[in-house]
């Protein structure tokens, strides 16, 4: 480029007298001129990268690719959440049978009529009358019935699964559910529930683990580990020959699900100016798995085949591993400007833009450096470094307050989300229709939250949705139990608010914390959310036995408290994201520094 062309394209001199470069390559010159026009010093390497990222993110094909890569894991993330409804569906009827009586020609109805309390009129029995069934094996049914009729005292009852040689008979096609395969019924019902709890346990540990790994070693590294674990766990769940391996596979699915969701989500949040990644659109397709799952379960009945059908799409994560790159913002927060520059501009940075301390060492310098012994780091220093993300998250009053409130709101939101789902089982006649309906409600809720966020801030939206959901759930108290339709309507309206606020609190949390601890905050908050999801079945099953309205009342009260606590959060709409925790202690007039346009 000639000197005349440089003078022609260069901007007018700025007031501080900074000179315009004359020897840079054209593309680098344009970047520096852009920095000068925005008031950024030419030597600000980090700002140059951020400006390049800004330009690259404005409606480019690269941005749409990142959008798809961040969005699609959400669909996979939901497949195994409600698959439990179909994998562990209860049989229409079940009762105890004696193989010895079957061998002597007794029919199922004859065995059931003589052994079951209530006879043929009672379905779903776990106990049998304590007769001498070895004696009945030498008798026909008519003689045995006459003998039992003549007995003056009624025998006691015993659990079928507790008697050696007895077995449960299930009126359900073979292979349709995990329940008959491992007798997850009656006194073993808790083992059936544990299959779902195992997923939450995995999420409980995986959320914080992968969150910390993502902040410490990078978004892509964390995502890679999680994707591999997700695929392996899905295969293990499908082909598990024993119950223990089934649980192990479900734990792996739960742990890895957080890893394939939150790193891409935080990665997508690095560009606030990108409209398609703003307003939590990264979660838009999350409820679509309801319809996909319902459709798959409608055509695929055996639980292993259904599990395999839900596992096969996870191999698409291999495509993500190829195309997804490391987050430039994360690289900048870790001081890796040179690699971030290559990510954004696709080439090595010019030497004059790099600090002298950041220049690559020559081969001689590298050889000399190998001879220098590494200094010993005290154990206390190593411990402090390993916990640096925690100390940054809770180290200042502002961040600590935000974190604790987020922990509570995430826990309450997850608790109420799953409580409404489990309570709905009492009035859901068809599993496929119910799952598809809840998916429809969730889709509406995400669209609702996006529309509201377009006009209102994160804090006000969260407060209103929490308040709305709490009122709907508490009004259930005033409805007679017999009015099922109205109760179901209110429960679904409450679920609408809970699902909508779930998306908002995820977005709000991601925006409230700096880049270097964002995934740690998201991970720990997700861990607290899974505390709520693990508590939900116990609240529904145990407290629901005492009174049908207790679960919804607990949720309504907790949601109203969450609404009040949300008012203590800062507003983050149209506010620049921070990169470092130390920036949060710098006093500013508004909650945070407004984002430059």
How many residues can be counted in the chain?
597
Supply the pLDDT for residue 236: 95
Supply the pLDDT for residue 385: 59
Supply the pLDDT for residue 364: 54
pLDDT, mean of residues 477-492: 84
Supply the pLDDT for residue 359: 47
Instruction: For residue 560, count CB atoms less than 10 angstroms from its CB and return exposed for 0-12, middle for 13-18, buried for 19 or more.
Output: middle
Least confident of 24-38, 230-244, 576-590: 24-38
Supply the pLDDT for residue 11: 39
Secondary element (H or E) of residue 586 = none
Higher-confidence residue of 123 and 288: namely 123
What's the pTM? 0.69
Supply the pLDDT for residue 440: 82
Q: Is the pLDDT of residue 131 over 80?
A: yes
261-318 residue pLDDT tens: 765 555 555 444 444 444 445 455 555 566 778 888 889 999 999 999 989 988 988 8
Can you spell out the DSSP letters for 94-162?
Answer: EEEE-HHHHHTT--HHHHHHHHSTTGGG--S--EEE---HHHHTTS-HHHHHHHHHH-SS---EEEGGG
Mean pLDDT of the chain: 75
Q: Is the pLDDT of residue 407 over 70?
A: yes
Q: Is the pLDDT of residue 214 over 50?
A: yes
Supply the pLDDT for residue 387: 62
Q: Is the pLDDT of residue 30 over 60?
A: no
Q: In this structure, which CATH number among 1.20.1250.20, 3.40.50.150, 3.30.230.10, 3.40.630.40 belongs to the domain 390-586?
A: 1.20.1250.20
Share of the chain above pLDDT 90, in %: 15
Q: Is the pLDDT of residue 462 over 80?
A: yes
Can you spell out the DSSP letters for 357-389?
Answer: GGSPPPHHHHHHHHHSPPPPPPHHHHHHHHTHH
65-103 residue pLDDT tens: 766 776 677 677 677 777 887 888 888 888 888 888 888
Supply the pLDDT for residue 156: 86
Q: How far apart are CA 206 and CA 210, in angstroms?
A: 6
Q: Is the pLDDT of residue 363 over 70?
A: no
Higher-confidence residue of 446 and 411: namely 411
Between β-strands 94-97 and 167-170, what pairing exists: parallel, antiparallel or unpaired?
antiparallel
How far from 381 is each of 213, 334, 375, CA to CA, in Å?
19, 18, 12
Are 43-90+174-354 and 390-586 the same fold in CATH?
yes
| Longest CA pairwise span in the chain (Å) | 118
43-90+174-354: CATH number: 1.20.1250.20
Q: What's the N-to-C CA distance of the chain in angstroms?
A: 31
Higher-confidence residue of 345 and 444: namely 444
pLDDT, mean of residues 390-398: 77
Ranges of each domain in the chain = 43-90+174-354, 94-171, 390-586
pLDDT, mean of residues 167-181: 89
HSE of 210, CA atoms in CB hemisphere, 13 A: 33
Per-residue confidence at 384, pLDDT binned at 50, 70, 90? Answer: low
149-172 residue pLDDT tens: 877 777 888 888 888 888 888 988
36-72 residue pLDDT tens: 344 444 447 666 666 666 666 665 666 667 667 766 7
């Amino acid at each position: 480029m000639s000197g005349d062309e440089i003078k022609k394209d260069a901007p007018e001199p700025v007031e501080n007298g900074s000179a315009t470069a004359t020897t840079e390559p054209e593309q680098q010159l344009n970047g520096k001129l852009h920095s000068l026009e925005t008031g950024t010093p030419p030597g600000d390497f980090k700002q140059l990268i951020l400006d390049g990222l800004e330009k690259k993110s404005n409606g480019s094909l690269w941005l749409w690719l990142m959008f798809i890569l961040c969005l699609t894991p959400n669909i996979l993330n939901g497949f195994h959440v409600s698959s439990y409804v179909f994998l562990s569906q209860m049989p229409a009827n079940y009762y105890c049978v004696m193989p010895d009586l079957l061998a002597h020609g007794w029919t199922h109805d004859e065995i059931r009529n003589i052994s079951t309390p209530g006879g043929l009129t009672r379905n779903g029995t776990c106990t049998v009358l304590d007769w001498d069934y070895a004696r009945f094996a030498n008798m026909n049914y008519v003689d045995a019935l006459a003998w039992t009729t003549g007995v003056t005292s009624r025998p006691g009852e015993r659990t079928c699964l507790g008697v050696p040689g007895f077995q449960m008979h299930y009126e359900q096609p073979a292979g349709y559910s995990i329940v008959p395969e491992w007798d997850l019924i009656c006194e073993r019902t808790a083992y059936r529930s544990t299959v779902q709890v195992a997923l939450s346990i995995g999420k409980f540990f995986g959320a914080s683990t992968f969150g910390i790994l993502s902040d410490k070693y990078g978004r892509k590294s964390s995502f890679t580990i999680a994707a591999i674990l997700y695929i392996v766990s899905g295969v293990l769940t499908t082909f598990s020959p024993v119950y223990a391996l089934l649980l192990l596979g479900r734990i792996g699915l739960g742990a890895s699900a957080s890893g394939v969701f939150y790193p891409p989500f935080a990665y997508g949040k690095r560009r606030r100016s990108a409209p398609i990644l703003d307003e939590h659109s990264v979660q838009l397709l999350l409820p679509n798995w309801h319809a996909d799952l319902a459709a798959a379960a409608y055509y695929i009945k055996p639980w292993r085949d259904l599990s395999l059908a839900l596992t096969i799409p996870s191999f698409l994560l291999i495509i993500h591993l190829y195309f997804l790159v490391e987050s430039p913002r994360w690289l900048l927060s870790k001081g890796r400007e040179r690699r971030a520059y290559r990510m954004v501009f696709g080439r090595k940075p010019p030497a004059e833009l790099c600090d002298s301390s950041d220049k690559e060492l020559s081969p001689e310098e590298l050889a000399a450096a190998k001879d220098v012994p590494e200094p010993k780091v005290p154990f206390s220093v190593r411990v402090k470094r390993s916990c640096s993300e925690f100390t940054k998250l809770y180290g200042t009053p502002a961040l600590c307050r935000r974190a604790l409130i987020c922990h509570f709101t995430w826990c309450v939101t997850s608790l109420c989300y799953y409580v409404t789902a489990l309570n709905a089982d009492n009035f859901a006649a068809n599993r496929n229709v119910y799952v598809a309906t809840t998916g429809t409600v969730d889709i509406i809720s995400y669209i609702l939250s996006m529309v509201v966020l377009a006009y209102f801030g994160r804090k006000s939206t969260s407060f209103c949705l929490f308040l709305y959901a709490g009122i709907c759930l508490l009004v259930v108290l005033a409805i007679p139990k017999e009015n099922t339709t109205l109760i179901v309507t209110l429960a679904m309206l409450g679920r609408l608010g809970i699902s909508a606020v779930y998306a908002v609190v995820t977005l709000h949390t991601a925006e409230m914390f700096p880049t270097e601890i964002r995934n740690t905050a998201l991970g720990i908050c997700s861990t607290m959310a899974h505390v709520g999801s693990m508590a939900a079945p116990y609240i529904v099953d145990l407290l629901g036995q005492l009174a049908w309205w207790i679960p919804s009342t607990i949720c309504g009260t907790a949601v109203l408290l969450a609404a009040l606590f949300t008012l203590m959060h800062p507003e983050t709409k149209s506010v620049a994201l921070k990169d470092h925790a130390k920036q949060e202690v710098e006093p500013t007039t508004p909650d945070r520094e407004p984002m430059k346009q």
